[in-house]
Chain A
């Protein structure tokens, strides 16, 4: 997992690139973006209706067909118990996407609460919340996740909570920054001068403007969360086998890597491809949002 918190990956705010540069950048991204969208679509479809893409049973064993290399019958090979790797990757998408989306949603909810409290709450509240975020931030993601898994036992819910909580501080900082900058901008003061109530100003002006850059961050966060959750599974702290899940498949494939490379390479590729695709789309959105009409 790249251990990096998603937030710093993209510089939110700051001067936008000139329109010409952006346009060129976007043009150069196009084929990549299309490809990335196809990958994401594939996995979303896999998560919703896996049987459409892979009609076999991901749990069914066939001891006579164990550790088969990729072939026409098993395009991505089979594992030790003769289960079809392609089928398991497709059926694993639901679990992995659920964890990614769930963790990001949780992180966002926590971060929005903290960020807005901090950004709007005045000096004392800001100080307290900032300290709290600082403390959370001083726990590396994996450390916090280890603690959670040890307490609650390994499960998808635990993974969502662990990864979600540990990535919240990064988002919270960013939201606070956005809130502060939006609050200090002229049009909020203007709205206040026009006699709009404080809650209304927050709802109509501060919230949407502070949240806009986050669309991108959320996209990236989903990819990162999946990578993190798979890392937990890799350490043996993920969902219980034999449920197909990408990280758990990687963990199981590790022992066979010198004999059955397909068990390690393909689930890893699924994670990388998916994370890469959402990142590509995220960056593309970023260009559009910052350089386009949204501004």
Chain B
């Protein structure tokens, strides 16, 4: 990628981040109810209407008295200095909260992505164009897997393998064995999706002349599948993985909730409920950032897998 290409990419990334911050800020500002009342009532566990004198110090502390534009500029100014602000609800700097929570979520999503690839590749190599029964079984599994909702799959896996069989921990520890069920919950549906596109591509590639010629040179079936066909067949799946990252983060919110697993998802849901603007914006911008980086990685992965792209 040329220097100009990199610069354009970076500018685009900053634009996406700015837009994400702006959008989130204004949406949250439009929310019903009074933010100062919310902060005060949450601290005391009450739901009552507050008097002006009770609200005044909170309004002053968080700058709610300023105009919306003033608050927005103040917020953007902080962002430009790398200051994500302080959470209304958790009374801690947003960057620290995210830093504390992001680790387990990244581990979960990356593991899920690896599981998804492993499952779909094994399935594709083992069943694609291997006769009608095998093919149907393989594609049938993919179709079903792709349609499984995380919340349902997660609860079923939890009850069967953790609560009844006791093979895995019930609550989401960060240990390896505690990672298996959540990552499978997140990975299985994705495996279905990746499997579907990879299989289509794989079958097409197996009909190509160069495959026939490789076979004619005496290469074994497994060799053809893994050395030649796979390399071409994974491209759409890689694109899909880039797109899937955002989806994986969404799924992580639910999976973390089902398995009581630490991570950004739990924090996000409660922050959205509490209208914790700095925290929600921080998470949104992080996700936007992840999205931008992931798509950059997808481009890179393309050039590695498909040498023709290198000169492009």
Contacts and interface: CB of A to CB of B under 8 A. Distances in A.
Task: Say if A and B assemble together.
Answer: yes
Interface of A: 1-5, 8-11, 15, 17-18, 21, 24, 28, 32, 131, 134-135, 137-143, 146-147, 150-151, 153, 170, 223, 227, 230-231, 234-235, 250, 254, 257-258, 261, 264-265, 268, 271-272, 275-276, 279-280, 283
Nearest to A253: B155
B175 to A, nearest CB: 23
Contacts of B247: 2-5, 140-141
Contacts of A32: 140
A5 B146 CA distance: 11
Nearest to B207: A18
Given A1-B151, A3-B247, A258-B163, A151 B27 contact: yes
Contacts, number: 176
A8 B243 contact: yes
Given A8-B244, A280-B143, 20 more contacts: A1-B151, A1-B254, A2-B147, A4-B146, A4-B193, A4-B243, A4-B247, A9-B146, A17-B204, A18-B207, A28-B135, A135-B19, A140-B247, A142-B250, A143-B283, A146-B272, A150-B272, A231-B151, A268-B152, A275-B149
Contact of A3 (B196, B244, B291): B244
A135 B21 CA distance: 10
Contacts of A150: 28, 31, 272-273, 275
Contact of B152 (A4, A134, A272, A280): A272
Nearest to A173: B243
Instruction: Find the residue from A18, A138, A151 having the highest chain B CB count within 10 A.
Output: A138
Contacts of A131: 12, 15-16, 19
B63 interface: no
A2 B197 contact: no
5 contacts: A2-B190, A21-B207, A151-B30, A231-B254, A271-B152
Given A4-B193, A150-B272, A223 B147 contact: yes
Nearest to A148: B27
B292 A138 contact: yes
B136 A3 contact: no
A8 B20 contact: no
B132 interface: yes
